[in-house]
Amino acid sequence: MDLKLKIWRQSGPDAKGEFREYPIQNISKDSSFLEMMDVLNEQLVSKGEEPVAFDHDCREGICGMCSLFINGRPHGPDDAITTCQLHMRKFHDGETVTIEPWRAKPFPIIKDLMVDRSAFDEIIQAGGFVSVSTGGVPDANAIPIKKANADLAMDAAACIGCGACVAACKNASAMLFVSAKVSQFALLPQGRVEAKERVERMVAKMDDIGFGNCTNTYACEAECPKEISVANIARMNREFFAAKVC
C-alpha cells in the first residue's frame, strides 16, 4: 500500500515546528505502524536527510513509550492498543496519515514526535513509599484481601503511564493516570498506611505541574490502551476528600 505521511517535525523544545509530508510506497498491511516508521527513516537516511525521532522500547504493548497521536487519536485508529500494536491494515491505500506528538504543556516536545513525560515520574515520586515488611517472603495468605479489591487493584495497576489519557483530554488532565496509581494502593491493606499523605501529595504535584481538571467526557477511558476505568477517578476523589476532612 502507498501512503502520504504528514508528520510533525521540530528540531528541539524551543524550535518552531511544522508538518512535513513524506510519500511512502509498498508498505505491507501486515507490518506494524512502527515498522512502517522504520522504513521511512531508512529512506530518509539513505537520502542524507534527518530521520524522524519517535519513542519506542519494548514494542510489545507493555512500556507505553510509543506515544503517537495518529489521525486525531492517541495510539491511532484502534481500541485498547499502544502504537506498537497498531498494524497498517487499519489504514487504506492512498490515505494521508497525520502523525503528531502528545499535545500538553506538561509534556514538552524533545524532538519531532518525542515528548518529555517525566511529569508522571514526579507525580509517582510525590506519592512516596509503601510500608511493607522487608524481611523474608511472607505467606501468600498472611494478609487476607477481598478478591473484589484485589481484582480492582490489579486493574488499576495495569496503567503503563503512556499519557494517552492526557493527550485525549481537552483539558490535558492526568486524573486517570493519578487515580489509577492512587487506587492500586488504596484498595490494598499494604497501601492504607500512607493513603492520606499519598493522595494529597500526588494531587498537589499534579496541579503544580500544570495538568488540567477532569470534566467527565470519558475521552481518557475511551483511548486508554489498558482500558483503565474512570471509576478510579471517583475513588481518588473520595480518598482526597476523606484525607482533607480527617
The full DSSP string for 125-192 is HHH-------SSPPPTTSS---HHHHHHHHHHHT-----HHHHH-TT-B-HHHHHHHHHHHHTSGGGS
Q: What's the mean pLDDT in 100-125?
A: 97
> Do the Cβ atoms of 228 and 221 come closer than 8 Å?
yes
Residue 90 has pLDDT above 80, yes or no: yes
Q: What's the mean pLDDT in 142-146?
A: 85
**Could you report how far apart the first and last alpha carbons of the chain are, in Å?**
61
* pLDDT tens sequence across 172-207: 999 999 999 999 999 999 899 999 999 999 999 999
Antiparallel, parallel or unpaired: β 109-111 and 114-115: antiparallel
pLDDT at 246: 76
* pLDDT tens sequence across 56-66: 999 999 999 99
Q: What's the mean pLDDT in 81-104?
A: 97
Residue 25 has pLDDT above 80, yes or no: yes
Q: E strands within 57-133? A: 69-70, 73-74, 96-100, 109-111, 114-115
Cell numbers 471517583: residue: 234
Structural domains in the chain? 3-110 (3.10.20.30), 118-132+140-245 (1.10.1060.10)
Show Cβ contacts of residue 91 under 8 Å, excluding neighbours closer than 6 positions. Answer: 1, 3, 77, 97
pLDDT at 206: 98
* pLDDT tens sequence across 45-83: 999 999 999 999 999 999 999 999 999 999 999 999 999
Residues of the chain with pLDDT > 90: what percent?
91
> Do the Cβ atoms of 105 and 172 come closer than 8 Å?
yes
Distance between CA atoms of residues 72 and 77, nearest Å: 8
CA angle 87, 27, 53 (to 5 degrees): 75
Confidence of residue 19 (pLDDT cuts 50, 70, 90): very high
Q: What is the pTM of this model?
A: 0.93
Confidence of residue 134 (pLDDT cuts 50, 70, 90): low
Alpha-carbon distances of 67 from 107, 114, 173, 187, 245, rounded to whole Å: 11, 8, 16, 29, 38
pLDDT at 144: 86
- The upper half-sphere exposure of residue 124, i.e. CA atoms within 13 Å in the direction of its Cβ, equals 13
Residue 98 has pLDDT above 90, yes or no: yes
Read off the C-alpha cell for 225.
490502551
Nearest to 177 by CA among 208, 212, 129: 212
Distance between CA atoms of residues 154 and 204, nearest Å: 25
pLDDT at 106: 97
* Mean per-residue pLDDT of the chain: 95
pLDDT at 123: 98
Read off the C-alpha cell for 12.
528541539
Residue type, 56: H
Residue 167 has pLDDT above 90, yes or no: yes
